[in-house]
Amino acid sequence: MMALVEVKDLAKTFDVSAPWLNRVVERKPRQFVHAVDGVSFSIAKGRTLALVGESGCGKSTVARLLVGLYTPTRGAVSFDGRDTGATLKSGEARTLRRRMQMIFQDPYASLNPRWKVLDIVGEPLREHGMAEGGDVLRQRVAELLESVGLAAADVHKFPHQFSGGQRQRISIARALATQPEFLVCDEPTSALDVSVQAQVLNIMKDLQRQRGLTYLFISHNLAVVRHVSDDVGVMYLGRLVELSPKQALFAQPRHPYTRMLLDAIPDIKMSGRSRTPVQGEVPNPLNPPSGCSFHPRCPHANERCSRERPALLDFQGIRVACHAVEEGRI
Ligand code: SF4
């Protein structure tokens, strides 16, 4: 299957140094955070890759790098076979922006409260010259609203007249306005009640089937990921530690961190298996641990783990970065 999106050795470093004068007075060096550090993956057309991990693992930074909101410090992203960094600087930037869109976590923050739905969903259509004239625009916006389960008459309402789940549907309608092929969804349902989450996720899955959409889905919630993804990448402190087809990951998680995350989710089959809360805390990214950055929390860590960073190795289509897996210890 052809990859629509390909990410190679992607890295993003943020300069989080104190202001120059403070550094001089307090004799502090510059400080950098490696938010994303050498991440590679690809997403085939029509598939969903979910990136999971605790907050601060770099998954949202990857999302923003993919749509060009951040410039990579190293590495590259290609879309439909072309480097996105180069395309965004060329005359074809508009076309690329039309082909990939992003949905954010908080629909309240991303929808202008003073605009009617007609303007919110219609803006990208106007911007890309995809609907000239008031009637055509209204018709297109009404169709988009109906495609996400809202009513055509909702065009005249304001965001505050909708529930949280409905507002997220408006965001999805807006993202779909330009007929994109690739959607980057950053925790799109995390702000919603569990029952509403399922409705929104089902709409997203239906739209994917109908339109052949490709998704990058960012979430900290493995139960949500299980519902929507084809493949799953588990991130820890800026790196991928496991990248696997969904079934394999849930049936037999390899990396100790993936196991820890899975042990913490409620047992869906109600088999009586007890939950183990996630142990320990994510280390300070300003001062990450040596070797495998998971070693202070890992029950299988040994001396090699604290010294040598494990590479992401392929085990029959499942990629894992762990010395213990490589050595056959676990
Ligand atoms: Fe644990 Fe070592 Fe594997 Fe890291 S490399 S996850 S510390 S066993």
CATH of the domain at 150: 3.40.50.300
Q: Is the CB of 301 under 6 A from ligand 1?
A: yes
Distance, CA of 320 to CA of 256 (rounded, Å): 10
Query: What beta strand segments (E) does the chain contain?
Result: 3-15, 32-44, 48-52, 74-79, 82-83, 100-103, 182-186, 214-219, 231-236, 239-245, 313-315, 318-320
- Please report the atom of ligand 1 found closest to the CA of residue 329: 8
Of all atoms in ligand 1, which is nearest to the CA of residue 298?
1
Query: From ligand 1's centre to the CA of 70, what distance in Å?
Result: 31
**pLDDT by residue (tens digit) across 88-112?**
999 999 999 999 999 988 877 789 9
Ligand 1 midpoint to CA 300 (Å): 6
| C-alpha span between 207 and 193 (Å, rounded) | 21
Q: Answer yes or no: is pLDDT of 134 > 60.
A: yes
Is residue 2 predicted with pLDDT exceeding 90?
no
User: Rounded CA gap, 133 and 216, in Å?
Assistant: 34
Pairing mode, if any, of strands 313-315 and 318-320?
antiparallel
pLDDT tens digits for 144-181? 999 999 999 999 999 999 999 999 999 999 999 999 99
Query: Which residues, 6+ apart, have CB-to-CB distance to 32 below 8 Å?
Result: 13, 14, 15, 16, 17
Q: Is residue 47 a contact partner of residue 246, using CB atoms and an 8 Å limit?
A: no
Is 262 a residue whose pLDDT tops 90? Answer: yes
Confidence of residue 204 (pLDDT cuts 50, 70, 90): very high
- H helix or E strand, kind and range, residue 194: helix 194-211
Asked whether the beta carbons of 121 and 177 are under 8 A apart, the reply is: yes
CA distance 159 to 115: 8
Range of the domain at 241: 3-326
Distance, in Å, from the CA atom of 219 to the CA atom of 156, rounded to the nearest integer, reads 32
Tokens representing 177? 């306005």
Residue 139 pLDDT greater than 90, yes or no:
yes
Regarding the beta carbon of 323 and ligand 1, being less than 6 Å apart is answered: yes
pLDDT for position 13: 97
Q: What is the pLDDT of residues 26-79, one digit of tens each?
A: 888 899 999 999 999 999 999 999 999 998 899 999 999 999 999 999 999 999
pLDDT at 269 over 70: no
Q: Is the CB of residue 215 below 6 angstroms from any atom belonging to ligand 1?
A: no
* The pLDDT of residue 21 is above 70: yes
| 256 Cβ inside 6 Å of ligand 1 | yes
Q: What is the 293 CA–ligand 1 centroid distance (Å)?
A: 8
SS3 for 36-82, per residue? EEEEEEEEECCCEEEEECCCCCCHHHHHHHHCCCCCCCEEEEEECCE
**Residue that the structure tokens 């060096």 belong to:** 29
- Which 8-state DSSP code applies to residue 3? E
Q: Is the beta carbon of 305 within 6 A of some atom in ligand 1?
A: yes
Identify the three-state secondary structure at position 231.
strand
pLDDT for position 286: 87
| Average pLDDT, integer, range 218-226 | 93
pLDDT-derived band of residue 272, with 50, 70 and 90 as boundaries? Answer: low
Amino acid 265: pLDDT: 81
What's the number of domains the chain is made of?
Answer: 1
Question: What H or E segment, with its residue span, contains residue 196?
Answer: helix 194-211
Cα Rg of the chain, angstroms? 21
Which residue puts its alpha carbon closest to atom 3 of ligand 1?
322
Token pair, residue 127, equals 């911007």
- Find out whether the beta carbon of 298 lies less than 6 Å from any atom of ligand 1: yes
Short-list 43, 40, 41, 15, CA closest to 30: 15
Record the pTM: 0.94
Residues with Cβ within 8 Å of 18's Cβ and at least 6 positions away in sequence, in order, are: 26, 28, 31
Determine the distance separating the centroid of ligand 1 and the alpha carbon of 255, expressed in angstroms: 8
Binding site membership of 53 for ligand 1 (Cβ less than 6 Å): no
pLDDT, the chain, mean: 93
% residues pLDDT > 90 (the chain): 81
Instruction: Please report the atom of ligand 1 found closest to the CA of residue 325.
Output: 3
Per-residue pLDDT at 1 = 66
CA distance 22 to 114: 41
